[in-house]
Chain A
């Protein structure tokens, strides 16, 4: 289907739907396997492509963390089977230092970018934007398809880097120079780093193409009556996410281009006359500033954490309101706080650099701006709790994950107030306290938001339900596991235990954590196993799950539930429905829910 056809309301397609809708008539697009499943321009198929690619990455990235937790929990043991899968990277069944750093680096890169950015935004922006605003497809389905295929290419490049002789990038997911700029600095700084830079550049292109489309579609393609203030909060969240991405990813790209020049052309943007002990020589470079890269990186890096968490917030807001059978509390305050977070996201990057010799006065400005984020965050938490308050709660798996999200967001957010203080950061930076903080507040939280979205919209995506028993096991083990893994890390971090270290047994002071480390590693393995069960549930249910028999199984108000159970390309068989009200008319005038398409009647009370 051409872009023009999409923009002009699919005049031709509408009629074909009218004739043979339901039997999935063969004549309706002349779709082949290639155009339907591979180079598809249907936003619903692109969503599934992003989701499944993201899931593959999540398994790989999660498996990496299990491997390095094995090292951290059992630093003295050997596991011969490790040599079978990792070869020379685990000689004698013990992970080599180089391999350990590579695992940590790739775990971060994969989870932050490929799962929680590509997999999360890519999936739900693609799926929900056209369906919830009432559009046939994205503004440009072709660019949307390209967005996925650039993501795919980036994935292939990063995947290939895992099999290089010198291994993948190993300088941390932030890739700070000089480590990342000097091929001689470590094994991972050789070809692995180039693959990392190329993979990330492709990823940036993918997320830009996606973001352009999301913004344009939301602003220009809404159906009649769908004013901005009638949009579900999912769309608002995805909108701000896309703006953050479009404005911050290009800055990362410029930082990476300069890094590439330093690596291969001999420029000195980041490199200076560093003395290298191993070769006993000094670099010919002069005047480079490694801090410059940190500024460019964190100008993306900080908005990036909001790129990860905002979609999760949007999904949770929507699912929570639907399943509490109550309107979301403080709709405008929710939008306002999303906006405030999006603005502040660009003004706090230097709080990642408190200990780089940053001017203390500048530091105090960034402390103030950082702590300001607590205000919109608290507004959101307050609104979620008041949405639950006296609600008629249905504890569906999606709802449980939504509530779990709020719990984790509070727990992780509180430690953010600690870390936002430049004085406390002197002690806490680069310890496991930081690791615990960001894993809870953005890692696990965002995963909970994503699970909440998958459990809620799976029936719309595949026309079947996920298995509930497995879903409940998945939720409870993951929630308990997340706290059991990361709560103890706070104590280790407060005691000064550094992150990214292969082995801390050299310090007597950390020896009393041996048991705790073993405990964390054991729980991590259990939680990982449960995620595999979720993946099984996902694929099993696509083919064998209980069938959806009604259009609107959750009794929700938004437009996606007015489409047929198996919606074709174009989403609505007839005309796009008109919208008459906001998305949150639950428990109004004694009615359980009123869909957005229902006109406001004369006797209705105001909300």
Chain B
């Protein structure tokens, strides 16, 4: 490690932000563009004949609360990691992953409630957009859960002990991002129908 630091100072690679973190920020920009494309399609479509609306089930408020809570737990997990409180870190990581799974299940319940009220894929209204947009968002949350499980596995590994906080920070940032993304989508669906 010493030697690599030495080389860095010689080659002078600027280390203001870790390249992997930076990659994540660019990726977040890319994901934002995808959802921006979908929500602007929604806005364009709203002005056309045949647009149908629906009532947003209450369960989406619960899922919103759950994902907000999970943001708190992952932030605490990062804090615990930096303070080398590894058991607290593991617990909070587990809690975050579980909350992520609960979020996806609640979203699924929300979808089924809309579906059972008679609004299926047939049509081209707000609900069909919700299925697609919230469904894609849920996929991003699942990807986050998978990342958490990998972090979890790393934290329990007996062979390698790592105290590099970069991967934890990256997962942390991504998790906050999918949280904020959902808040945006939720407010979008509440306001623009």
| Residues of A near any B CB (own CB < 8 A) | 3, 7-11, 14, 134, 139-140, 143, 208, 211-213, 215-217, 219-225, 246-251, 253-255, 257-258, 261, 265-269, 272, 284-289, 292, 295-296, 299, 575-576, 578
Q: In the complex, what residues of A have CB within 8 A of residue B50's CB? A: 268, 272, 286-288
Given contacts A9-B4, A246-B26, A246-B30, is CB(A268)–CB(B124) below 8 Å? yes
User: Is the CB–CB distance between B11 and A576 below 8 Å?
Assistant: yes
- Bound CA span A222–B121, Å: 50
Q: How far is the CB of A6 from chain B (nearest CB, A)?
A: 9
- A8-B7, A11-B4 given; A139·B19 CB < 8 A: yes
- Whole-angstrom distance between the alpha carbons of A215 and B34 in the complex? 18
In the complex the two chains form, what is the Cα distance from A219 to B44 in whole Å? 36
**CB 8 Å contact bits of B1-22 with A (1 = contact, 0 = none):** 1011101101111100111101
Q: Is the CB of B49 within 8 A of A216?
A: no
Q: CB-nearest residue of chain B relative to A249?
A: B30
Across-interface contacts of B73 in A (CB, < 8 A): none
The answer, yes or no, to whether B118 is at the interface (CB within 8 Å) is no
Query: Min CB distance, A607 to chain B, in Å?
Result: 23
- Chain B min CB distance to A133 (Å): 10
Contact B19 A250 (CB under 8 A): no
Q: How far is the CA of A269 from the CA of B50 in the complex (A)?
A: 11
For A11, the chain B residues whose CB sits under 8 A away are 3-4, 7
Complex: A128 Cα to B136 Cα, angstroms: 35
Cα–Cα distance between A8 and B34 once the two chains are bound (Å): 33
Q: A9-B13, A286-B123, A287-B51 are in contact. Are A251 and B19 (CB under 8 A)?
A: no
What would 8 A/B residue contacts be, using CB atoms closer than 8 Å? A139-B20, A216-B20, A220-B14, A223-B11, A265-B121, A266-B122, A289-B45, A292-B41
B180 at the interface (CB under 8 A from A): no
Known: A211-B26, A216-B20. 15 other contacts (CB 8 A): A7-B18, A139-B22, A140-B23, A215-B26, A247-B30, A247-B33, A250-B34, A254-B38, A258-B41, A266-B122, A267-B132, A269-B128, A287-B49, A295-B44, A299-B37
Asked if residues B34 and A254 are in contact (CB atoms below 8 Å), the reply is yes
- A267 near B13 with CB under 8 A, answer no
Contact A286 B37 (CB under 8 A): no
Greatest chain A CB density within 10 A among B4, B37, B45, B128 is at B37
Q: Assuming the A-B contacts A220-B13, A257-B132, are A286 and B121 also in contact, with contact meaning beta carbons closer than 8 angstroms in the complex?
A: no
Which of A143, A292, A299 is B23 in contact with, Cβ under 8 Å?
A143
Q: Report B46 CB to chain A, min CB distance, Å.
A: 11
Name the A residues within 8 Å of B19 (CB-CB): 7, 139-140, 216-217, 220-221
**Bound-state Cα–Cα, A253 to B139, Å:** 14
Which residue from A7, A208, A216, A289 sits with its C-beta under 8 Å from B30?
A208
The answer to the question of B102 belonging to the interface, with a C-beta cut-off of 8 Å to chain A, is no
Q: Which residues of B contact A284 (CB under 8 A)?
A: 122
Q: Tell me which residues across on chain B come within 8 A of A258, comparing CB atoms.
A: 38, 41, 132
The answer to the question of B31 belonging to the interface, with a C-beta cut-off of 8 Å to chain A, is yes
Bound: A253/B38 CA distance, A: 10
Q: Report yes or no: A287 in contact with B123, Cβ–Cβ below 8 A.
A: yes
A11-B7, A576-B11 known; A287 and B48 CB under 8 Å? yes
* Inter-subunit contact B38/A268 (CB<8 Å): no
Task: Determine which of B10, B13, B36, B120 lies in contact with A222 in the assembled complex, contact meaning CB atoms within 8 Å.
Answer: B13
Q: In the complex, what residues of A have CB within 8 A of residue B136's CB? A: 257
The one of A248, A575, A576 that contacts B33, using a Cβ cutoff of 8 Å: A248
Which residues of chain A are near B1, meaning CB under 8 Å?
8
Whether, in the assembled complex, B27 has its beta carbon less than 8 Å from a beta carbon of chain A, the answer is yes
Main secondary structure of the interface of B (DSSP, over half): helix
A138 nearest CB neighbor, chain B only: B19
Q: With a 10 A CB-CB cut-off, give which of B41, B51, B136 has the most chain A CB atoms.
A: B41
Least CB separation from A246: chain B residue: B30
Residue of B nearest to A575 (CB): B10
Set of chain B residues within 8 Å of A265, measured between Cβ atoms: 121
- On whether the beta carbons of B124 and A288 are closer than 8 Å, the reply is yes
Chain B residue with Cβ nearest A291: B44
Flag if B27 contacts A212 (CB, 8 Å): yes
Let me know if B4 and A269 touch, CB within 8 A.
Answer: no
Residues of B within 8 Å of A217, CB to CB, are 19
Given contacts A9-B7, A9-B8, A224-B13, contact A269 B23 (CB under 8 A): no
Q: Is the CB of B11 within 8 A of A250?
A: no
CA distance A104 to B33 in the complex (A): 30
Residue of B nearest to A260 (CB): B132
Whether B34 and A286, one on each chain, are in contact in the complex, defined by CB atoms closer than 8 angstroms, is: no
Q: How far is it, in angstroms, between the C-alpha of A328 and the C-alpha of B164 when the chains are bound?
A: 44
How close is B136's CB to chain A, nearest CB, in angstroms? 7
Query: Cβ of B37 and Cβ of A255 under 8 Å apart?
Result: yes
Once the chains are docked, how many angstroms separate the CA of A292 from the CA of B4?
Answer: 52
Question: Are A251 and B11 touching (Cβ within 8 A)?
Answer: no
Check if B121 sits within 8 Å of A267, measured CB to CB.
yes
Given contacts A140-B20, A223-B11, A295-B44, contact A266 B26 (CB under 8 A): no
Q: Which of A223, A248, A287 contacts B13 (CB 8 A)?
A: A223
How far apart are the CA atoms of A249 and B36 in the complex, in Å? Answer: 12
Across the interface, which residues of A come within 8 angstroms of B20, CB to CB? Answer: 3, 7, 139-140, 216
Q: Is the CB of B4 within 8 A of A250?
A: no
**Leading 7 A-B pairs by shortest Cβ distance:** A287-B50, A224-B12, A8-B4, A250-B34, A268-B124, A9-B7, A251-B37
Q: Is the CB of A296 within 8 A of B41?
A: yes
Q: For the complex, what is the distance from the CA of A248 to the CA of B50, rounded to whole Å?
A: 29
How far is the CB of B188 from the nearest CB of chain A, in Å? 15
- B114 CB → nearest A CB, Å: 14
Q: Check B13 against A221 for contact (C-beta < 8 Å).
A: yes
A247 to B45, CA, bound (A): 22
Of all chain A residues, the one with the shortest Cβ separation from B17 is A220
Residues of chain B within 8 A of A288, CB atoms compared: 50, 124
Q: How far is the CA of A272 from the CA of B49 in the complex (A)?
A: 10
| Whole-angstrom CA separation of A249 from B29 in the bound complex | 12
- Most B CB contacts (10 A, CB to CB) among A7, A139, A284 go to A7
Task: List B contacts of A253 (CB < 8 A).
Answer: 34
- A213 & B34 in contact (Cβ 8 Å cutoff): no
Shortest distance from the beta carbon of A373 to any chain B beta carbon, whole Å: 21
Q: Out of B12, B30, B34, B122, name the residue touching A223 (CB < 8 Å).
A: B12
Q: Tell me if A268 and B123 are in contact (CB < 8 A).
A: yes
Instruction: Known contacts A139-B22, A224-B12; decide if A261 and B29 are in contact (CB<8 Å).
Output: no
Task: Determine how close the nearest CB of chain B comes to the CB of A264; give it in whole angstroms.
Answer: 9
Q: Name the A residues within 8 Å of B7 (CB-CB).
A: 8-11, 14, 575
CA distance A344 to B192 in the complex (A): 29
Bound: A261/B101 CA distance, A:
25
Per the bound structure, the CA–CA distance linking A225 and B10 in Å amounts to 11
CB pair A266 B121 closer than 8 Å: yes
The answer for the CA separation of A295 and B22 in the assembled complex, in Å, is: 30
Known: A9-B8, A254-B37. Contact between A216 and B122, CB under 8 A?
no
Write the nearest CB–CB distance from B48 to chain A, whole angstroms.
6
